[in-house]
Amino acid sequence: MARSTPEVNGGSLADIAFLLLIFFLVTTTMDTDTGITRLLPPEPEEDQITDVKVNKRNVLVVLLNRSDLLMVGGEVMDRLALKDKTMEFFTNPLNKDNLPVMEETEIQFPPGSSSLLTPDGMWRGKVSKGVISLQNDRTTTYGAYLQVQNELVAAVNTLRNDFCRLYFDKEYDELNTANPIEEEIQAGIRKRYKMNISESDPKTIGGRN
């Protein structure tokens, strides 16, 4: 009575799957995009006074000339020394006169998030007013420019990471921004160590082109 159902020939299934596989191999790429995210300064308004008076000690001028030579705060420097210099500039550990003014600041963190803060989550301390001014020539190569950007970002990231590890026993990168508490912690740390890197408008540095 029971009629046996005819069996489907599965022999060509492999061929079909191979075909699909090869299609996906050809049309897709595997590279994930990585890079350094930076914020450009907004275009100044017409009536805005562009000459903002900044205390000289609060500015570290990083120059990259057309032969990709680096000059930091008036002295020629190797690229690998820039990170330490930047970290010193942003922290001013010895309270030197020629390093930025440290301003007494209060930063609100989530209450009870760390035993090193006051119970209501307030951090009190000195925050640097320093700004790094990065200037490059039109003939500087992009590779050298990005290396310098990288060192500056590395310095700030290290400072933030150290702070985060000390207070919250966690890596700064591992803070989950989807979690509102950790998001607030991250925002607080961003205020503690600001990424104050300004890029001046392009101009010619170090001789004529």
Partner 1 sequence: MSKFRKKGGKGLQTINTSSLPDIVFMLLFFFMVATTMRETEVQVKVKVPEATEVKKLEKKSLVSYIYIGRPVANVARMYGSEPLIQLNDKLVSDEGIPYATIQDFVLFEREKLTEADKNKMVMSMRIDENISMGKVDDVKQALRRAKSLIINYSARKEYRDQGRQR
Asked whether position 93 contacts partner 1 by CB under 8 A, the answer is: no
What six digits make up the tokens of 54?
């900044």
Count interface residues toward partner 1 (CB under 8 A).
47
Q: Which residue, 105 or 150, is less far from partner 1 as judged by CB? A: 150
**Of positions 54, 76, 146, 166, contacts partner 1 by CB under 8 A:** 146
Quick one: which H or E segment has residue 119? none
- Given a contact cutoff of 8 angstroms between Cβ atoms, the answer to whether 164 and 171 are in contact is yes
Asked whether position 8 contacts partner 1 by CB under 8 A, the answer is: no
Angular region, 20: left φ>0, alpha ψ -120 to 50, beta rest: alpha
Cross-strand bridge partners of residue 63: 71, 135
- The DSSP letter of residue 124 is E
Asked whether position 186 contacts partner 1 by CB under 8 A, the answer is: no
Q: Which residue, 60 or 64, is less far from partner 1 as judged by CB? A: 64
Q: Which residue, 40 or 52, is less far from partner 1 as judged by CB? A: 40
Length of the chain: 209
At 123, give phi and psi (nearest 5°): -105, 130
Angular region, 179: left φ>0, alpha ψ -120 to 50, beta rest: beta
- Given a contact cutoff of 8 angstroms between Cβ atoms, the answer to whether 7 and 13 are in contact is no
From the list 9-17, 70-78, 98-106, 114-122, the region that binds partner 1 by CB under 8 A is 9-17
What six digits make up the tokens of 135?
């200037």
Asked whether position 154 contacts partner 1 by CB under 8 A, the answer is: yes
Q: Which residue, 105 or 139, is less far from partner 1 as judged by CB? A: 139
What is the Cα–Cα distance from 189 to 185, expressed in whole angstroms? 6
| 3-state SS assignment for residue 55 | coil
Q: Which residue, 55 or 179, is less far from partner 1 as judged by CB? A: 179
Asked whether position 164 contacts partner 1 by CB under 8 A, the answer is: no
**Of positions 3, 7, 10, 93, contacts partner 1 by CB under 8 A:** 10
Q: Which residue, 58 or 141, is less far from partner 1 as judged by CB? A: 141
Q: Which residues bind partner 1 (CB under 8 A)?
A: 10, 13-14, 16-18, 20-21, 24-25, 27-30, 32-43, 80, 84, 136-143, 145-147, 149-150, 153-154, 157, 199, 201-202
